[in-house]
Structure formats: structure tokens, C-alpha cells
A and B are shown apart, each in its own frame.
Chain A
Amino acid sequence: MLIRLAGKSLVNRRGTALLVVLSMALSVALLLGVERLRDQVRDSFASTVSGVDLIVGARSGPLNLLLYSVFRIGEPTANVSWKSVERIAAQPQVDWVVPLSLGDSHRGFPVLGTSAAYFEHYRYARQRSLEFADGEPFDDLFDAVIGANVAQRLGYQLGQEIALSHGGGKVSLIDHADKPFRIVGILAATGTPVDNTVHVSLQGIEAIHADWLAGAPLPGMRLTAEQVRERDLRPRSVTALMVGLKSRIAVFQVQRSINTATEEPLLAIIPGVALQQLWQMMALAENVLALVAWMVLLVAVMVMLTALLTALNERRREMAILRAIGARPWQIFALVIGESLLLTLLGVVAGVLLLQLASLLAAPLLSARLGLALTLWSPVAKEFILIAAVMLAGLLAGIWPAWRAYRQSLTDGLGMRL
């Protein structure tokens, strides 16, 4: 009954109530959004590399290597010679190696040159292997396998021919249009950067650069697609390689042997360890974001407090009428506290809806840009704790005006002071 009264009284002052709910909703959306983004980005990053024991690249920073080799963020500093690849693969503890060759693109999507072992050994999201939605792994020199996003966004189908471009940008000045690739496989969606990748064989990458030198076509020397097949297409170098060991116990030993190799300056990283470094680096930014979100909540609570206190003067008569009818002082108190709770609850509901809407809009963007998958509704305990904290803040904010209304109801008596 009191809730009904509080609700109707609130509807009567819907202008201010709406603004309060809106500010509360924005702050709740921000608070939950920051948490959700933090968790999901971590999950998504962590699930991208699974089952890989070591990643090896030219000597730079561990984070740099992890980001460009797996997430296609940033640029590699140097390559790994094919000799080193062969040497690592020959180590007795090594089960398999998958070479990765980056640097070309197709309409903004990165092209990855690799071996057929990639489809066999790459794992994501706790040991799930890649599945083909359509077609099969590449076999011929000019075969390509595309990720789910590439297929969907460009509307590609099996058998279609595509031209690769040199460099990573969306607009590339130099095309490899003379040597088109044919799509032979489309991968099922994974929620990782694989979805955004065009996969070709290492030899394919060599072939399109056969008549190139130092990153530019050699003037006066053009090889046709047929001529290039006659050439020696053994790769000279790759960008990085993923290494799987026969036993994980050997991981530090192999890492050490690669890092201390004198033949070529190389860096081997354990993906999980590098990810931890990434989280540590991001923790500061995340904490600043979280702090801002809490500050915004504080502002929203103060907006509500202002609205409640202002309304209190207008509602003095309302309270006197209720007292005359027989309302107890605690009921007056409950009426005001109830209103603050109702406003907070509406704010929370609106905020969660707002966040869902924002996620809905942001999910395809994030998936297209970074290949990260956002799940929409993850009712984790953490979010409920945050919501409970917001409700508590709303309750606490209501105590002051409720107490003032309570005092007023005692001192005003039957007098209708205005």
C-alpha cells in the first residue's frame, strides 16, 4: 500500500524522477559495463590461445610478440629464418610447430600464411579445435581458407577467387591481383581473431612475393601464376611460430634453449605468462575506469538526493494529510525511503537494459575489429554484488531525506505550514 502511494507520488513528479532514473541508469550501465568488459576481454583473450606451449618470434618484447602473432595487433619487428624453424622442430621435446607468416591482407582482413598443421593443432576456448563450416584445408598453392567473419561480411562462398594485397591497411596501393587465390574452405565461427583471418599456405605467400624484392615489385620482372609454380617456393622466413611440446614439463627447458640460441636472436614466450603480463599492464587502466564508474555512481546518488530533498518541501502538505489520516511517523519515513529505493531499482533495471543494448551494438564491432566475442547476458555473482551495492547506495541516500520527513511529521503537528 505504501509502495503504491510512493509510486503514484513519484509518477506525479515524473519529470524529475525520469532524470534521476536516467542518471542512475547511466551510472549502473557504466559500472557493470566496465566490469563486464574487463572479464570478457580477459576470457576472450585467454581463450584465443589454448594448447600452444610456446610462441616463438624475433627478439622483441613478450607482449609485442603475443599481440602481433596471435591477436594481429601491432607489427612484427623482424622475421624468423626458416633454418631456425627447422632447428626448433627438430628438438626432441617438440611435438609440432606451426609457422605463421603475416604482412599481407585482403580488404582489411589479415592474411596468414601457415601450414596445414595449423588446422590440426590450433586450439581455442579450452581445447576446441577448428571446424570447417564448409570446404576443407588448403591443398593447392593458390588455395585459401577464410574465417567466419570474412565469409559473412564479404559474402564469400566456396570457389570464389580473391586477390591479396600487400600490407595491412584497408586501402592498399599494391595488389597481388595477378595471382588470385581460390576459396576452398570456410571455418566455423570461433569468437577469436581466426574469424577475421584469410589463411593460405606458406608457399602461397612466397609465390605472390616471388617477383618482389625488399617489399616492392621488381621493375621489369613479372612472373605469371603459372611461371611461379616452377620456382623454388620453400619459405625463407616466417613471422612467428607456435610450438607444441610432447610434455609440458619441458616447457621452461625448451624456452631457455630457444632464448639463448646463438644462431639467431629469438624469443620464446609461454602464452599464459605473457597474458598475465598483459593483465598487469591493463590493471591500472582498468582500475582508473572502475574508479571513474564509482564516481559517476556517487554523482547519480547525489542527483537523487538533491531531487528527494527538494521534493520534500513540496511534499510537506502531502505528509501532513497522511499524518491526519493516521499514518505513523515511520510510515512517512518508509514512504521517502521507499521512493529512493524505487528510483534506484528503476535505475538499475534501465541501466542493465541500456548495457544490453550497448553490448548488442558493440559486439559486432568488437568481433570485427579484434575478433573478440562478447556474450550478452552473463549473470555472474559479481554483477549481482555490484547491483546490491548500488541498491545499498540508494538506500543510504534515502535515509537523510526520510529522516527529515520523519522529523517534520513530528514537529508540524496538524499545522499546515507552507
Chain B
Amino acid sequence: MSNLLSLQKVSYQWPGTARPALQIEQLSVDEAERVFVIGPSGCGKTTLLSLIAGIAVPQAGGIIFQGEQVSGWRSSQRDRVRADQFGIIFQMFNLLPYLSVLDNVLLTAQFSAPRRRRAEQLSGSATAEAERLLERLGLPVELWQRPATALSVGQQQRVAAARALFGRPAILLADEPTSALDGEHRDRFISLLREECEAAGAALLFVSHDVSLSQHFSRVLDLRELNKSARADGAAC
């Protein structure tokens, strides 16, 4: 397996804070790899994801994505990479309340032409691909035209997964996507996410404080150990 993403001696400090939120010596993810990152809140989870997604740029060190040093790129180029190659799922409230379920999934295609093309190659049309994903993630047809807010939290998270998977991104970033779900739904959601990432050939970087979920993943990392800045802080996180 070739390397998809790696962070080298990365350090990041939010503007207006006294010390770095994140200092990582080395972190790498292979293509189609499924990585679980344990990270209680306050350990630089959001910072890590922002850096990987290219929304924040490290003050020191480099981030290499698909062989390119993206941390040196201009912000518009990083936005392009994120639109074309990343799928992001938040903890909750992933959907735009004024769009239907289907339009929320299709939103990805509106911001990325390559992903629209890939979707068209897969299913014939962007809409057909969105419908295929919604169906695979167990969302019944009668929900597709409903406003996103009409869905339960679990259903909303599955729509968010469909949107993140749309148009075959290289990697999915999931930030505690199951924290609002109960036990059975949680495991079912993670299985679905795994299967779909596998089918799409996408890597999955799953961040959570819940260690019990790590069984689903091939590799488990602990952010408390990765983040030197957090270690210096002591037992806080």
C-alpha cells in the first residue's frame, strides 16, 4: 500500500493562544487504510482534522498528501484538494436544514467537478449516484425529498456519510460521528462506513474518545501520545 497522507514534525498554534495546540513528530495514513485515533476532547482533535483538511496551515513542519507538499500550497489550492479528495463528517448537524436529503448529498458535486464526473462514471448521473449511496446507507426512498431536519440524528449522520462518500474521495475524516448515536446504531453506522470506504477505495481517519469503537479498525493511534504538546500539559487530556 502506498502512502496517502503524512504529517512530518508538524506544529500548530491557534492565533491568540499561548502555546501550540498540536505538535506531531510523524503521522501517516496509507491509501484505503482505516485508522482510529483515540482523542479525548482538548487533545487537539479539531486542530489535527483542520490541518489534515487544509483549513489550517502548520506554522512548522509539512503535510504531504498524495505525494505533494500541500501545506505549502495557497489556500485556494488546498480548498480545491479538500473539495475533490476529502469527505468530512462532523459530530452532528452535518446537513443544511433548508435543503432536501438528496440535495444535501448532491452539494458535494456542486463544489467539485471531478467528483461530479466520477459519480457520473459510476452511476450514469450525479443524482443516480447520490440515490445509490443513500440506498446503500439504508435511507428509504420516501425520505430523499424530505428536508434534512425531518430526519432522526442517526439518519442525518448516514446522509452525511453518503455526502462524504459521494464522488469517491481519497479519504474520509470522521470527527466523533457516532457520539450522538446509541450502542446498536453506533456499531451499525461504523460497519456501514467501513464497508462503503472499502467499496470506494477510500481511506478512513476516525477520531473518537470512545476506545470501544477501535475494534473496527486496522490501526489504532492515541492522540495523547502523538501530540507532544498535550503530553507536556500533563494529565489534562
Contact = CB atoms under 8 A, between A and B. Distances in A.
Interface in B31-65: 46-47, 49-50, 53, 55-56
A328 interface: yes
Contacts of B47: 413
Contacts of A415: 46, 50
Interface in A401-418: 411, 413-416
Nearest to B83: A326
Contacts of B129: none
Contacts of B73: none
Interface stretch (A221-229, A285-293, A315-323, A353-361): A315-323
Interface in A309-343: 317-318, 320-329
Q: Which of B90, B91, B96, B107 has the most CB of A within 10 A?
A: B96
B96 A414 contact: no
Given A325-B83, A325-B108, A414 B88 contact: yes
A326 B84 contact: yes
Given A9-B98, A411-B15, A416-B91, A325 B107 contact: yes
A324 B163 CA distance: 11
Contacts of B53: 324, 414
B63 to A, nearest CB: 14
Given A12-B98, A411-B15, A323 B93 contact: no
Contact of B110 (A1, A328, A414): A1
A13 to B, nearest CB: 8
Q: Which of A12, A318, A324, A413 has the most CB of B within 10 A?
A: A324
B99 interface: yes
Contacts of A324: 53, 82, 88, 90
A399 B113 CA distance: 29
A218 interface: no
A416 B110 contact: no
B44 to A, nearest CB: 11
B83 to A, nearest CB: 2
A11 interface: yes
Contact of B111 (A8, A12, A325, A413): A325
Given A8-B98, A11-B98, A414-B88, A328 B79 contact: yes
Contacts of B50: 413-415
A256 B12 CA distance: 92
Contacts of B83: 325-327
Nearest to A9: B98
Contacts of A326: 79-80, 82-84, 86, 108, 111-112
B97 interface: yes
Contact of B96 (A318, A323, A413): A318
A328 B83 CA distance: 9
Contacts of A411: 15
B131 interface: no
A12 B148 CA distance: 12
Contacts of B125: none
B95 interface: yes
Nearest to A416: B90
Nearest to B173: A414
B46 A12 contact: no
Contacts of A9: 96, 98
Interface in B64-119: 75-76, 79-80, 82-84, 86, 88, 90-91, 93-99, 107-108, 110-112
Given A9-B98, A12-B98, A326-B84, 8 more contacts: A1-B110, A324-B53, A326-B79, A326-B111, A327-B111, A329-B75, A413-B47, A414-B49
6 contacts: A8-B98, A320-B90, A321-B94, A323-B55, A325-B83, A411-B15
Interface of B: 15, 46-47, 49-50, 53, 55-56, 75-76, 79-80, 82-84, 86, 88, 90-91, 93-99, 107-108, 110-112, 163, 175
